[in-house]
Homo-oligomer: A and B are copies of this chain.
């Protein structure tokens, strides 16, 4: 599609009043304070070249809304930076974009379109309002570490998407993550620290501990696995380690004082203590840490 056609299609999306009908180079946002977050998804890194464009649109929006969920925010709207492609791809992407915006009541604020030869690189910036905005550095010694939902489904889903066969529910956990916006609203005012699990439970738990100046212990045997993940990937230590380091879960990871029950369904997977570093246990006994705790961009350089 050319730029004019693409923008015309964007005008048929749910538009934010500050978007000024997308005829301007800038938008005006009046809500305050605003939580803002941005993520870029790259073909071959964050999605597969043959992933359906509608799913890529979903994932692009959902991963950013997941960051808003971790702040306990209501969704204000999104900016899209989009590389124009062949028209069929663009149209399928637009279909997915309309679906995800409508599903999460997110409105388009603006963006930019470019021409890009090479792997697709898509950026979305999301704005949230009315956020308790817990940081990731507020965990206290003695706090318990909790996580919503299940861990590792998307990691198995990636394998399934690459192989072209396997349980659809797991594949869709990879392609269509579901931001925990409702849970984030309930958790925001009560947690000591919160973040979403995007790069892997272990690496993200380690980051929360490091930011908080604490040590964290994760009990591998408590990491919640879905029925589908248990059936497809098993439940042995290797399967649990794979789940805890796979990333793309977009569940909420949070610190609560010991003894406090979270206001949403969640699983206690660890605890914080004075010191530093990550300890992993299985059935109460320390086990060696895996060489890789999750996904990091170019850790080799």
Contacts and interface: CB of A to CB of B under 8 A. Distances in A.
Contacts of A154: none
A27 B32 contact: no
Q: Which of A70, A71, A121, A195 is packed against the most chain B CB atoms within 10 Å?
A: A121
Interface stretch (A128-136, A143-151, A237-245, A282-290): A128-136
A20 interface: yes
A117 interface: yes
A27 B33 CA distance: 10
Contact of A2 (B31, B68, B81, B299): B299
B131 A297 contact: no
A32 B35 contact: no
Contacts of A42: 83, 114-116
Interface stretch (A95-103, A104-112, A158-166, A222-230): A104-112
B32 A36 contact: no
Contacts of A35: 26-28
A297 B119 contact: no
A34 B25 contact: no
A281 interface: no
Given A2-B297, A31-B32, A301-B2, A40 B114 contact: yes
Nearest to A137: B23
B36 A26 contact: yes
Contact of A32 (B29, B79, B299): B29
A51 interface: no
A38 B118 contact: no
Contacts of A87: 301
A125 B38 contact: yes
Contact of A211 (B23, B133, B299): B23
A203 B136 CA distance: 47
Interface in A28-74: 28-42, 44-46, 67-68, 70-71
Contact of A110 (B26, B36, B79): B36
Contacts of A38: 79, 81, 110-112, 123, 125
A3 to B, nearest CB: 4
Contacts of A296: 2-4
Nearest to A300: B2
A133 B28 contact: yes
